[in-house]
Amino acid sequence: MQPVSPRVVELLNEALTFELTVTNAYFLHARMLDSWGLNKLGKVFYDLSIDEMKDADAIISRVLLFDGHPNVQRLNAIRVGETPEEMLVLALDSEKAAVAQFNAAAKECHDLGDHGTASVFEEMVLDEEKHVDWFEAQLGAIERVGLPQYLAQQIPAGEAPA
């Protein structure tokens, strides 16, 4: 079907770029955290990267519904954290940016009269808000218990590598 405006497909592709970028960033951070022995935090980044990939999947489907071309070539710059704390700060930044971008996209879709796509963005905002909250909580926990104590909690119980 045709979108109400080609702008809708542009907005979806901008969101797709965002989701693919964070998918990659979180996946890389997950594996870096694993390699540092901080597998519990690594697992969260891993799971979040899959979540973001599912967002990308939903956006691709929506673009195809409009007979548009999903742009999977484009990525924003991937900011790599050099420490676990930096990874959390970068992730919080990204999630806040996602909330702002998707809220703006939802509003623009409503203004264009495309309430279906607006609701796709609104659902994603709800997810990204949960991500914001989780990363804020981690940084809050670090402030309260201290970084070494926080990091010690990210080490899994000993087990032989598979």
Instruction: Please give the residue ranges that form the binding site for Fe ion (CB under 5 A).
Output: 19, 52, 55, 95, 128, 131
Smallest distance from Fe ion to CB 22, Å: 6
* 112 closest CA partner among 10, 15, 17: 10
Distance CA 67, CA 113 (A): 18
For Fe ion, the closer of residues 52 and 114 by Cβ is 52
* 52 closest CA partner among 127, 139, 116: 127
Smallest distance from Fe ion to CB 47, Å: 11
Distance CA 151, CA 87 (A): 13
For Fe ion, the closer of residues 22 and 38 by Cβ is 22
Smallest distance from Fe ion to CB 99, Å: 9
Smallest distance from Fe ion to CB 98, Å: 5
Tokens of 133: 């909250």
For Fe ion, the closer of residues 123 and 147 by Cβ is 123
Q: Is the dihedral of CA 96, 82, 30, 19 positive or negative?
A: positive
Smallest distance from Fe ion to CB 72, Å: 15
For Fe ion, the closer of residues 29 and 131 by Cβ is 131
Distance CA 102, CA 121 (A): 5
For Fe ion, the closer of residues 19 and 108 by Cβ is 19
Read off φ and ψ for residue 18, nearest 5 degrees.
-60, -50
